[in-house]
Chain A
Amino acid sequence: MNFWTFISQNRLEIADLTLEHLWMVGISTLLALVVGIPLGILISRRHALRKPVIAFANIVQTIPSLALFGFLLPAPWIGARATRLAILALMLYALLPLIRNTYAGITGVDRAVIQAARGMGLTEWQLLFKVQMPLAASVILAGVRVAIVISIGLATIAAAIGAGGLGELIFRGLAMVNNSVILAGAIPAALMALAADTLLGWLEKRFTPQRAD
């Protein structure tokens, strides 16, 4: 069967799977933002916590994705639905770039700026939200960009545990030894990653603070 005819005959299913894929990536990224950015902020203020938190995120990153899906299978509530499980796993993978970039962005703010801000009487919250976060925004966004692109790729593997998404076409194609089917899953996923990368790259540029030359 020709690639184009497969696409046109199955466009509804492909659109469905694309939406499913987007949903998994979107929700997991949102959760990772909600957890990762505060953790990054926390370790920039409590240096004792930096090593254990980064170590945890690093370890998660080293677990092969299939194995992580497997590990999480027996978990209560989470394990009951494949999508939940996939979302949790994707979230865990997205944590490292978010935590690390938030930390790097905040600690990378010019020390003179921080000293001046404290010296003129900003509270710690004002320092964080008026100075550190705006100046770290582009670095944090770079982390979000990496996290999303990785997530879109990894989410294809979630099909192995029946979570759906574009990976389903890829696995089906592999089983059928049919390249058209594999490509029908792989190409939309790749396009999605490219689109996310471009969009976030543009945001990142917009948020790059003006630097003294």
Chain B
Amino acid sequence: MSMAPQSPRSESVIEFRDVEYASGGRKILCALNLAINGGEILVLLGRSGSGKTTALKLVNRLLTVSRGEIRVDGRDVKDWDVIKLRRHIGYAIQDVGLFPHYTVERNIGLILSLERWDKEKIYARVQELLRLAGLNPDLAARYPNQLSGGQRQRVGVARALAADPPILLMDEPFGALDPLTRADLQREFLSLQRKLQKAVLFVTHDLHEALRLGSRIALLEAGKLVAVGSPEEFLGSSDPLVKKYVEAFGSLEEARGKK
């Protein structure tokens, strides 16, 4: 499969250059080259243990690259102040990780208050984000344990967007939701992205999710990048590993059909 054509104007926001990550003598990622542009959702697809979550955590330096470099806005992440880097990047994960002792409002506004925004501005921004994430602004006073799974994940996304970062890292954010809620959130996320035009790096193992959300899909297998391309290119690929992945989901559909 060929690389998807990149528009010459858009400069890549995140760039993996020959990235390798090893832990305990085991190579988890090797020779990864990948660029994510502003306004696109790049989906990192792969089975468990393929290294996709690792790749994500290298970007905001929850893990440190062993060899090669990752550039964010053209600058090696090692040269960034790590706190500045992380506040420049929104981060949403499957388990959400909302702060159980804070209300929804404080959860979303925490970074803003650490950035010393004044109270009225934070309040207004939180209200805006709640609406953006498809939540009733009345939920602001609730605690995370008073929310449904879908609401919690929406709060997680709102929190990631709080300081309007140009980059979003999303690690199977919709993975733990029921299929209907997941479909809702995927649809809303797409329309949100059309408005916000972030550079999104999205990790999932779900081919359908990848096809639905991805501007481009990158398949990882055992720490190596197998292929990158648009959803159409991906489905039409002749690469044996891509085919295998697509077929695994195809046979799932068949199995459903036979019932």
Contact = CB atoms under 8 A, between A and B. Distances in A.
Contacts of A118: 62, 86
A117 interface: yes
B100 A135 contact: yes
B160 interface: yes
B144 interface: yes
B87 interface: yes
A209 B83 contact: no
B83 A123 contact: yes
A136 to B, nearest CB: 11
Interface string B134-152: 0000000001110000001
A113 B99 contact: yes
- Interface range on chain A (Cβ under 8 Å from partner): 20 to 34
A126 B114 contact: yes
A122 B86 CA distance: 8
A211 B145 CA distance: 6
A115 B53 CA distance: 13
Contacts of A209: 100-101
B91 interface: yes
Nearest to A126: B114
- Interface range on chain B (Cβ under 8 Å from partner): 20 to 34
A116 B96 contact: yes
Contacts of A120: 86-87, 90-91, 110-111, 159-160
B244 to A, nearest CB: 31
Contacts of A131: 99
A134 interface: yes
Interface string B83-105: 11111001101011111110000
Given A118-B62, A120-B87, A121-B86, A210 B101 contact: yes
A75 to B, nearest CB: 43
B60 interface: yes
Interface in B158-196: 159-160, 169
Interface in B195-253: none
A1 interface: no
Contacts of B100: 110, 113, 135, 209-212
B111 A121 contact: yes
Contacts of B144: 210, 212
A135 B101 contact: yes
A213 B96 CA distance: 14
A135 B93 CA distance: 20
A117 B156 CA distance: 11
Contacts of B156: 116
A126 B60 CA distance: 18
A118 B86 CA distance: 8
A119 B152 CA distance: 17
Interface string A81-109: 00000000000000000000000000000
Given A134-B101, A210-B100, 12 more contacts: A110-B95, A112-B93, A112-B95, A119-B60, A120-B86, A120-B159, A121-B84, A121-B86, A130-B99, A209-B101, A210-B101, A210-B143
21 contacts: A112-B97, A113-B98, A115-B62, A115-B93, A115-B97, A116-B93, A116-B96, A117-B97, A118-B62, A119-B62, A119-B91, A120-B91, A121-B86, A126-B114, A131-B99, A135-B99, A135-B100, A211-B145, A212-B100, A212-B144, A212-B152
Interface of B: 60, 62, 83-87, 90-91, 93, 95-101, 110-111, 114, 143-145, 152, 156, 159-160, 169
Interface of A: 110, 112-123, 126, 130-131, 134-135, 209-213
Closest 3 CB pairs of A and B: A116-B97, A112-B95, A121-B86
